[in-house]
Amino acid sequence: MTQSEFLPVSRADMARRGWDFYDFLVITGDAYVDHPSFGPAIISRVLEAEGYRVAVLAQPDWRVPAAFAALGRPRLGVLISAGNLDSMVAHYTAAKKRRHDDAYSPGNQAGLRPDRAVIVYANRIREVFGSIPLIIGGLEASLRRFAHYDYWEDKVRRSVLFDAQADLLVYGMGEAATREIAARLAAGTPVGEISDVKGTCFSANSPAACAYPLVEVPSFETVAQDKRCYALANRIEYEEHDPVRGKAVLQRHGDKLLVVNPPMPPLTAAELDGVYELPYIREPHPMYGAMGGVPAIEEVRFSVAHNRGCFGACHFCSLAFHQGRMITARSRESVIREAAALTKHPGFKGYIHDVGGPTANFRQPSCQKQKKAGLCRGRACLAPEPCPSLDAGHTDYLMLLRSLRELPGVKKVFIRSGIRFDYMMQDKSGEFFAELVQHHISGQLKVAPEHCVNAVLDKMGKPHIEVYEKFRQKYERLNQRYGKNQYLVPYLMSSHPGCTLGDAVQLAEWLNRTGRQPEQVQDFYPTPGTLSTCMYHTGLDPRTMEPVYVPRDPHEKAMQRALMQWKRPDKRPLVLEALRRAGREDLIGYGKGCLVRPERGGSAQKREEAHQPARAGKGKKPPEKGSARSGKPLVRGAGWAVPKPKKNARPNKKRR
């Protein structure tokens, strides 16, 4: 593979192609990786397939305006994306600490894109190219299309369309919208007159500029001051995000009007096949070779995406508000062709790492009605209980996986994308579950129950814990049946809106009972646009407008997180404090149900009492003063666990 097969990244590249002009400049906050897992690569290849000349400017130095003019002025316009992640999420942890690495940058190096990359890049383009047509898109722009709560500034920001001074914002999966915009620009239509493309946003002076039936939400100024109005706006924005029944949404920003046109209909299977079968090189640009390459390619190099959309619609996840809830899938033939091509790659070892997407086992609409009527307003397909109309058949996905397993050169086909276990449990045949265990797990299966308290799960948009327990039991039975020693790894989240310290203690108890202690846990991260972020900011559930408890204090969040890793010595002080604050000193002791041992010291009689089974709930006897269950220290010290004394052991002077 040679550099010329990549799209031009320099004037020298354009000269080698004989170009004296080009049509579109695509700017991305990620390194340039020509692979269909990278949004800017897809948009670039889609435009190229339409006959346009496209150049790529990856991670330009935003401090130097001249860096944005390095390839010259494009003939038709500039398209900007922050990359595969929101730039603030890419740069900061949930605790707002700066990350030290960046898998989407060469050599895993952090700091190669600015904070709020879409705004910074767009403003630089305005500096160097003036009034050139400027279109922003990608995840960062998509989730910030309305006035939105910004976790890092702890305030409501206006639509990114205005801060970026962009002409158009493309939200969601942008292939069809980008094609239409490009065709109109090429035909000579002024960008200010392109106002009726679905899946786009623009600025207007009057509602009359909107070409579709519309609904208006409270203004930016109102939602910035009134949390109840913010929650109401968030609910309407979600309700109208439907390609069949959705209306345009208007939101005033000062003397301007933000117009968000209805979503673009999802691509058909044939259109999706066409997008994924464009001539991607599937590698980072060779200019990164001396810098250590781009780590993000490793997870996707030998993976295949077969679907888009997610009707799971977890409230903390951005997918429902970006890709949408309606599922579209590639044809089996297209996926098989891509997998067969992977087997010819010189680095292929016989293992397809993933056949997935946002949710791996979604390969069809959740029901047939939505094709004509859209998805139900105010009703989720799976949680808290599955819809009676749910179609949970896995036959098509199963046939695809069987075909991939039979390809010459393929040893194993794994599934590493998220699997919606509650959807699997609705498939009465059980055939897919059995073959998943037999053929498609690489040692461990990762699923996301997220919590064990049903009231918290309701706020997350997740199924109740009883569903996960049934799934876990069936998974264990199938592993025994087929002689497999495969683990189940549950993803869990702390400090989600609705989760009290008492709920966090119950989660720790559940983990203790099930013999699990996660090595990694995730604090809730309030990313732009989600329903859970709305709950975090407003203290209201936008679906019902009822109050929601929100753990905001960093110390409480640290305690909730520590409870999920109660065995770690460094978490012990936080766990002890959390248990006492929650009134659960009964979990401090030596009984089977206890989480931590009491502070070192105390009489033999008290240690013996501490070995009794933990008791909780109404009717228990109050703990005696100074006992392990009282939570009061028996002696001063470092808080180590007291070991069971050995027979005839001589006193240890150091320990004493």
pLDDT digits (tens, 9 = 90+) for 418-443: 899 999 999 999 999 999 999 999 99
DSSP string, 210-231: --S-EEE---HHHHHH-HHHHH
Indicate whether 629 pLDDT > 70: no
Average pLDDT over residues 308-325: 93
Range of the domain at 436: 269-489
Q: Cα(134)–Cα(114) distance, rounded to whole angstroms?
A: 19
Tell me what pLDDT residue 521 has: 83
Q: Are 331 and 270 in contact (CB under 8 A)?
A: yes
Lowest average pLDDT, out of 150-164, 368-382, 406-420, goes to 368-382
Q: Is residue 82 part of a domain?
A: yes
How many CA atoms within 13 Å lie on the side-chain side of 345? Answer: 20
For the chain, the average pLDDT equals 91
The structural domain count of the chain equals 3
The secondary structure element, H or E, covering residue 49 is: helix 39-49
Tell me what pLDDT residue 379 has: 86
pLDDT tens digits, 194-206: 999 999 999 999 9
Average pLDDT over residues 69-91: 97
Tell me what pLDDT residue 515 has: 86
Residues 197 and 280 in one domain: no
Residues 356 and 459 in one domain: yes
Q: Are 320 and 326 in contact (CB under 8 A)?
A: no
Tell me what pLDDT residue 145 has: 98
Rg of the chain in Å (alpha carbons): 27
Burial of 201 (0-12, 13-18, 19+ CB in 10 A): buried
Residues 429 and 352 in one domain: yes
Q: Is residue 589 part of a domain?
A: no
Q: Are 355 and 415 in contact (CB under 8 A)?
A: yes
3-class DSSP assignment, residue 361: coil
Closest listed residue to residue 498, CA positions, set 316, 266, 241, 290: 316
Indicate whether 478 pLDDT > 90: yes
Q: Which two three-digit tokens encode residue 613?
A: 């089974």
The CATH number of residue 276's host domain is: 3.80.30
Lowest average pLDDT, out of 91-100, 146-155, 372-381, 592-601, goes to 592-601
Indicate whether 642 pLDDT > 60: no
Q: Is residue 547 part of a domain?
A: no
Q: How confident is the model at residue 622 (pLDDT cuts 50, 70, 90)?
A: very low
Alpha helix stretches (DSSP H) within 307-369:
319-322, 332-342
Residues 195 and 290 in one domain: no
Tell me what pLDDT residue 600 has: 73
Q: Is residue 73 part of a domain?
A: yes
Q: How confident is the model at residue 52 (pLDDT cuts 50, 70, 90)?
A: very high
Tell me what pLDDT residue 601 has: 57
Tell me what pLDDT residue 633 has: 32
Q: Is residue 69 part of a domain?
A: yes
Tell me what pLDDT residue 378 has: 83
The CATH number of residue 80's host domain is: 3.40.50.280
Q: Cα(600)–Cα(636) distance, rounded to whole angstroms?
A: 8
Indicate whether 621 pLDDT > 60: no
Q: Which two three-digit tokens encode residue 234?
A: 């968030």
Q: Is residue 218 part of a domain?
A: no
Residues 182 and 279 in one domain: no
Residues 161 and 283 in one domain: no
| Reported pTM | 0.89
Q: Is residue 504 part of a domain?
A: no
pLDDT tens digits, 162-174: 999 999 999 999 9
Q: How confident is the model at residue 300 (pLDDT cuts 50, 70, 90)?
A: very high
Residues 151 and 298 in one domain: no
Residues 303 and 419 in one domain: yes
Indicate whether 458 pLDDT > 80: yes
Residues 273 and 195 in one domain: no
pLDDT tens digits, 14-51: 999 999 999 999 999 999 999 999 999 999 999 999 99
pLDDT tens digits, 225-258: 999 999 999 999 999 999 999 999 999 999 999 9
